[in-house]
Chains A and B, each alone.
Chain A
Amino acid sequence: MLKFLRRLAGHVVRGLVMIWIVTTFTFVLVRLMPGDPVQTQYETLLSKGMSPDQAKAQVAVTYGFVPHGSFWSQYGHYLWQLLHFDLGRSVRAQGVSVTTEVLSTAKWTIGLVLAGTLLSFLFGVVLGVVAAMRRNSHLGNGLSIVGSLLHGVPQYVMALILVTFLTVKFKLFSTGPVDGLLEPGFNGPYIASIVAHAVLPAVAFALSSFGGYLLSMKSSVVSVLGDDFILASELRGIRPSIIFRYVARNAILPLFTVLALSLGFMVGGAVFIENAFNYPGMGAMLVASIGQRDYSEMSGAFLLITMAVIIANICADMLYTVIDPRVRRGEGA
């Protein structure tokens, strides 16, 4: 137990250092981006009919939230705010705290990508096993080809195809997160609407990512099938269903790591999918904030994504010691 805690503490310290490094890197990077947000808003206001001095005054109010001063003073201010769990204020959503913006968009992303990831994992693992067991049949070959092809289709292409055919041409689904005319709250129609609106983006996510799980699972199963202990089990006359369990448990181990890391990346969202389906998640927010050079929002979003990935890494590492006895034994030795 003590070793476990020591190991966990080591991970946490390394994680915090990593978060600081990435945060600093992000802070520098977003400020190196070309493009002046003040100038962009000024031009937009002019094109809406404002006079130059009105536009200038409006921009001054909007960007009054942005800390001024030297790079180092801004960096110090940013770190000080971070220590107080304050991510600053959004410029795009004038004056709204970035924490509010990030958290309100993260919940949509997590729901969507969690559903999509689990769906793709489920399909990928099941079909991967089928493809491995029937690897010399048309079914096995067909599944492998379909998995490879879909894995090669970028998410944005998949999203655009589904949007075009299922929401625009044949109006079977709607874009957006929910039907706004429904009374919000914990009631059947509202929840059904949320789920209904999430189905297509989740399917888009699953379709464009399950191929990877399928191919990995197939490869892993084929590898385990060739192991001596499987041959020994067959020779000892163990029932095929039990042998299948041996195969599945051993073959799925590497995929758990991939799944855990995917769950970490899910906070970053499926940027293209969210944009195509007009889904109000972190990805869509990130794109909008980059377009308007909203440094606070960008930094806040990157920080959350970084933290999620690092936490997922730690969890995957710790989980591995639990689910793989060989690692546990190695640790005990």
Chain B
Amino acid sequence: MRKPVVAVLTAAGTLATVLAAAGCTDSSSADGGVFTTIDGNHPINVNAPINPYNQASNTFVGYNTMQLGWAKNSKTDPNAFYPGLAKSWTETPDHLKLTVKLQPKAKWSDGKDVTAEDVKTSAAMSFTQGGGAFAVSPGAAGGLGDIKVVDSKTIEFDQAAGSANNSFLRNILSMNVIPKSVYGPQMPADIWDTIKTATDPKAAKADQTKAQNTITSLGKKLVDFGPKKDVSAGPFVLQRVNPGEAVLKKNTYFFDADKIGPKQVVLKNYSGNEQIWNYLIAGQLDAAPYTSTPTNVVKKIVGHKGNGTVKGFSPVAASLAFNQSYKPLDNVHVRRALAYLIDRKLTTKIGEAESGTASQTTTGLVGDAANAWLGADGVNKLNPYAHDTAKAEKELKTAGLTKSGKTWMYKGKPFTLNIQAPTGFSDWIAGSKSISSQLTDFGIASSVKTSADYATYLSEIAEGKYQVGFWLTALGPSTYNAYARLYGPSNGWTQFGAQVKHSAAGKDGNWMGGTETANVPGLGTVNPGDLTNQLSQADEAKQKELVGKLARYSNDQLPAIQIWDYVNVQFTNTTRFTNFPKDDSDVLRLSPGVWMQLGYIKKK
């Protein structure tokens, strides 16, 4: 009986080995090589349409999806771009008119020219999706008022009357450009009339609503549409998709095809970070975008031959945000005491050693951006909240807390603090545990609670169920976006056109529950939501003034305590390709497809 069993097992093993060998291919055999990576925006879905306006689409930014320009990883200027399908552009100083000249040699992968009409069709498509310059609400700040095709390669954009939004250029240049020959027939002939009615503040209300509804339903239809074949103006065109990967081949019609090294790009599928790490540890990826990666995993990844990291600026910070509806967190002295108590360097070392640096202090911006806007002197004038238990004790006493033995008491009961973090966010959980331990040692009974997942966390934090929780802040480089994290809907301020309104704690998504105004020494009474709203309309000098005030407000009032600034860590493998961007390059937030367009990445 023993022999047949052994024979069966041996046969199965042999079959597996033979089949595994049969499935292997030589990925380096093609000229220019096969560049293997993952798309950080979404996994591969074989059923998704080839439509860049679809969130799960089989189009990949920088490879077979082109924008007019590519945003640089600037610390302060959200309008700094590399040319994409636009060769050049000019904007009037008041941001009201933008003229774009397209790349003269730009062609689609079917051989047709990329023209200004394609851009106009893309703008119509963007209106059906809404938001930014393409908001369909009349009088929306920074909306596109008019679009004019000057000639086949030149197009003008006018900002809607009544606003001079400084994000207009950014929103226009970031538009995904689609071919009119493919998408035009999907749109009604009178689409621009409908858009005009929907966005015209002078139009009759009934007509306006009807037009808006038409655009909304058209948006649903268009986002679902997928051409059978990819028509790309990018350096690559989709060759095939299977559930494991998407394969793109070089687009010979691309206007800068000579710059593109690889002949093929393979974008592998993944269902989580662990898969990406496994690919990297096995040396299968030539590059991978940022994922929050634990130290031990980073060591394994860089331990593989050819693997390395490229580090650069990231305009994102991790903060501990307060729900001020929970007493005594509404008392600024208590928040300041906590800021003194948290050793940010220690917390960062434990929570985000590889891709984080301890925040200098709380400004609402990451350290590099704060230094650029305020200057080193400006930042140094702010309270650094260096770890100091004596100052913390003083602040707590000022807030009326007392000490019983080793325990801090609030109104006769122990002051307790529950820190919340979502399951799966290992850096936030480790950071929370470190903070909890520091606070408990000081006499504030603290614990860490985890939510089932991120969806639950966001839902429950918005419902006001947590005292304190980790929160992404400083989402730049746009200063408006960064401060809207602290003084936006989550803290009661909602933007309506050029105005803002403030809702009370617990209403309209206001879970942070801060006061509408506060008195800041040297500034007087400040309404941070109003200042944030002004940022969207301000020129650079005015922004500097507003950022100065908001940084001081944030530093004084502490709606959240910045713990660490993220560092953009990307992985590369130089075994098969070379000439990757270096540390601190301003292309690091762009996809390797854009790197190739800019002359990076050559076969070794």
Binding site for B on A (CB under 8 A): 33-37, 39-40, 43, 46-58, 60-62, 64-65, 92-96, 100-101, 104-105, 108, 126-127, 130, 133-134, 139, 163, 167-168, 171-182, 184, 188-189, 192-193, 195-197, 199-200, 203, 275, 278, 280, 284, 287-288, 291-293
Contacts and interface: CB of A to CB of B under 8 A. Distances in A.
Contacts of A65: 220
Interface string B246-273: 1100000000000000001010111110
A204 B56 CA distance: 30
A333 B16 CA distance: 51
Contacts of A176: 243-245, 268-269
A37 B495 CA distance: 23
A95 B54 contact: yes
Interface in B1-17: 1-2, 5, 8, 15-17
Nearest to A183: B240
Interface stretch (B40-48, B325-333, B369-377, B547-555): B40-48
A205 to B, nearest CB: 14
Contact of A51 (B24, B56, B478): B478
Given A95-B54, A275-B271, A35 B455 contact: yes
Nearest to A101: B47
Contacts of B242: 177-178, 180, 184
A40 B131 contact: no
A96 B16 contact: no
A319 B23 CA distance: 39
Contacts of A192: 19, 22-23
Interface string B475-488: 10010110011001
A46 B240 CA distance: 31
Interface stretch (B89-97, B176-184, B458-466): B458-466
Interface string B124-163: 0000111110110000100000000000000000000000
A280 B46 contact: yes
A167 B484 contact: no
B592 interface: no
A36 B458 contact: yes
B262 to A, nearest CB: 13
Given A46-B485, A47-B472, A64-B216, 13 more contacts: A35-B458, A36-B455, A49-B481, A49-B589, A64-B219, A168-B278, A178-B242, A179-B23, A180-B242, A181-B247, A192-B23, A196-B21, A284-B271
A165 B496 CA distance: 57
B103 to A, nearest CB: 24
Nearest to A143: B5
B244 A94 contact: no
B598 interface: no
B25 interface: yes
Contact of A173 (B15, B20, B41, B264): B20
Contact of A287 (B16, B131, B271): B271
A196 B23 contact: yes
A80 B240 CA distance: 36
B455 A181 contact: no
A51 B132 contact: yes
A95 B223 contact: yes
B499 interface: no
Contacts of B43: 288
Interface string B203-233: 0000000000000100110011000000000
B460 A34 contact: yes
Most B C-beta atoms less than 10 A away, residue of A53, A58, A173: A53
A193 B485 CA distance: 48
7 contacts: A51-B484, A52-B489, A95-B49, A130-B1, A180-B242, A181-B266, A293-B455
B456 interface: yes
A104 B45 CA distance: 10
A34 B456 contact: yes
Given A95-B223, A180-B266, A278-B275, A39 B135 contact: no
A35 B452 CA distance: 9
Given A47-B316, A47-B475, A49-B481, A58 B131 contact: yes
Contact of A139 (B2, B57, B131, B134): B2
B481 A52 contact: yes
Given A176-B245, A180-B242, A199-B16, A96 B47 contact: yes
Most B C-beta atoms less than 10 A away, residue of A51, A130, A192: A51
A222 B73 CA distance: 71
B129 A57 contact: yes
A56 B481 contact: no
A11 B123 CA distance: 57
Contacts of A37: 455
A203 B16 contact: yes
Given A34-B456, A130-B5, A180-B240, A93 B223 contact: no
B167 interface: yes
Nearest to B4: A126
A91 to B, nearest CB: 9
Contacts of B278: 163, 167-168, 175
Most A C-beta atoms less than 10 A away, residue of B22, B485, B488: B22
A208 B86 CA distance: 56
A291 B272 CA distance: 11
Contacts of B244: 176-180, 197, 278, 280
Contacts of A177: 242-244
Contacts of B270: 278
Interface in B33-67: 34, 41, 43, 45-49, 54-57
B559 to A, nearest CB: 16
Contact of A108 (B47, B167, B243): B243
Given A49-B481, A56-B131, A199-B19, A100 B47 contact: yes
Contacts of A292: 455
A40 B129 CA distance: 19
Given A46-B475, A53-B495, A64-B219, A175 B459 contact: no
Contact of B488 (A52, A139, A184, A197): A52
Given A35-B452, A182-B25, A293-B455, A93 B48 contact: yes
A53 B22 contact: no
B116 to A, nearest CB: 24
A88 B34 CA distance: 38
B545 interface: no
A197 B244 CA distance: 10
A181 B266 CA distance: 8
Contacts of B46: 104, 280
A61 B452 contact: no
Nearest to A164: B278
Nearest to B22: A192
B259 to A, nearest CB: 24
A93 to B, nearest CB: 5
B573 to A, nearest CB: 14
Nearest to B472: A47
A168 B268 contact: no
